[in-house]
């Protein structure tokens, strides 16, 4: 039977907290798998770029309260590697002066602090930089807002010190999943304009409000960045055959591992759970093994050791010097039998 996470993936309007955690736990392993199988050389750097985008840059930009030109280049490198590659954007980004990047980003972040409800103002300010449109501007503001990094491995919610988590990055998979179109689905064409970003913002806000109202005892809130990662997993699963097969195997492997962890007695053999009957069978088997071993030892001895004379098998071997003939006053002389198994019986001398 197909796993429902594969067979019937949920839309953004339907996804539940347990489903969110399941797909979120697949994100980092999938990034590592893509980096190993990727045809593009740049994709091999995906894990390190992911760490930069979700962990290093947010913390750094929060400390600085602005972007530097190297920060801007690194953010663009992540975007082009993680999504569609547009090499000309690298040259446009590099053409910005360091002082202009710092000035524009500082003003934009101050606007966001002043009134985060008017999200288009700081985004359009960031779009004054060369090579920065709505999608890249949302990435930059999201990096600033997501101080502390995104959640991984199915851990939903980053706590109160991880930023508001309100700014969604306008990635292809994220937009298509949140603003789902039944006719075009994952092949939906995008314009990357402010109108589409407004649709994404409203959609993500609605999903977050619904999930955060049903999160129960979760620490923190469901962040836009977590929904972004889930959308990436779902998008790749739907459009790349080998990713779908890999996720199917991964879920099956995790399911078997989970069953084994919850039933540690399984796989220990038929004797588990059978009671005294199993114990008796084991004792009989052990006894049979001992008999078999004794037989093997006996068969390996020479014939004169394998068949000792009757009555002497349990007698302690006598020293060799005590094998002389003795006489008794009332009985005829009787030989004392040699019972030392290490010495073979002497052959009788023929009379000449």
Query: How much is the pTM?
Result: 0.70
Residue 117's pLDDT is 87
Residue 295's pLDDT is 54
Residue 8's pLDDT is 85
Query: Which residues are registered as beta bridge partners of 326?
Result: 334
Cα–Cα distances (Å) from 164 to 136, 169, 203, in that order, read 19, 14, 16
**Cα within 13 Å of Cα(297), Cβ side:** 6
- Whether the CB-CB separation of 146 and 162 falls below 8 Å is answered with yes
Cα–Cα distances (Å) from 280 to 258, 270, 276, 286, 289, in that order, read 33, 13, 6, 10, 14
Residue 253's pLDDT is 82
Residue 240's pLDDT is 93
Per-residue pLDDT 10s for the chain (352 aa) are 468 888 889 999 999 999 999 999 999 999 999 998 876 676 678 999 999 999 999 999 999 999 999 999 999 999 999 988 888 999 999 999 999 999 999 999 999 999 988 999 999 999 999 999 999 999 999 999 986 444 444 444 443 345 678 999 999 999 999 999 999 999 999 999 999 999 999 999 999 999 998 655 445 689 999 999 999 999 999 999 999 999 998 888 876 766 565 555 544 444 444 444 444 444 444 445 544 545 544 554 444 444 444 444 444 444 454 444 444 444 444 544 544 444 454 444 444 4
Residue 263's pLDDT is 58
Rounded distance between C-alpha atoms, residue 343 and residue 155, angstroms: 78
Residue 332's pLDDT is 46
Residue 29's pLDDT is 96
- Whether the CB-CB separation of 137 and 163 falls below 8 Å is answered with no
The count of other CB atoms within 10 Å of the CB of residue 35 is 18
210, 2, 156, 136: CA torsion to nearest 10:
-80
Residue 259's pLDDT is 57
Which among 136, 19, 31, 142 is positioned nearest to 77, based on CA atoms?
A: 136
- 113-132 burial: b if 16+ Cβ within 10 Å, else e: eeeeeebeebbebbbebbbb
Residue 262's pLDDT is 59
Tokens of 73: 């280049």
């Amino acid at each position: 039977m197909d796993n429902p996470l594969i067979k019937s993936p949920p839309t953004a309007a339907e996804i539940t907290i347990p489903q969110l955690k399941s797909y979120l736990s697949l994100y980092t392993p999938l990034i590592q798998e893509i980096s190993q199988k990727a045809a593009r050389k740049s994709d091999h750097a995906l894990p390190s770029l992911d760490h930069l985008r979700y962990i290093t840059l947010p913390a750094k930009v929060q400390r600085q309260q602005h972007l530097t030109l190297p920060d801007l280049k690194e953010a663009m490198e992540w975007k082009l590697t993680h999504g569609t590659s547009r090499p000309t954007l690298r040259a446009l980004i590099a053409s910005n002066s360091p002082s202009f990047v710092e000035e524009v980003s500082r003003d934009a972040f101050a606007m966001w602090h002043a009134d985060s409800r008017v999200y288009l103002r700081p985004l359009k300010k960031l779009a004054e930089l060369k090579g920065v449109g709505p999608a890249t501007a949302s990435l930059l503001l999201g990096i600033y807002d997501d101080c502390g990094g995104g959640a991984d491995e199915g851990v939903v919610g980053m706590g109160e010190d991880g930023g508001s988590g309100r700014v969604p990055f306008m990635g292809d998979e994220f937009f298509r999943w949140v603003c789902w179109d039944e006719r075009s689905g994952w092949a939906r064409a995008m314009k990357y304009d402010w109108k589409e970003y407004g649709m994404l913002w409203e959609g993500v806000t609605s999903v977050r409000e619904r999930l955060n109202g049903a999160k129960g005892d979760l620490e923190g809130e469901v962040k836009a960045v977590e929904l972004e990662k889930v959308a990436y997993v779902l998008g790749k699963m739907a459009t790349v055959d080998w990713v779908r097969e890999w996720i199917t195997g991964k879920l099956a492997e995790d399911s078997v591992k989970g069953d084994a962890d919850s039933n540690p007695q399984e796989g220990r053999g038929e004797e588990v759970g059978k009671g005294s009957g199993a114990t008796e069978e084991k004792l009989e088997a052990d006894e049979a093994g001992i008999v078999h071993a004794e037989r093997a030892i006996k068969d390996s001895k020479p014939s004169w050791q394998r068949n000792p004379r009757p009555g002497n098998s349990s007698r302690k071997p006598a020293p060799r010097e005590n094998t002389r003939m003795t006489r008794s006053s009332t009985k005829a002389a009787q030989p004392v039998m040699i019972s030392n198994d290490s010495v073979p019986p002497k052959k009788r001398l023929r009379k000449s």
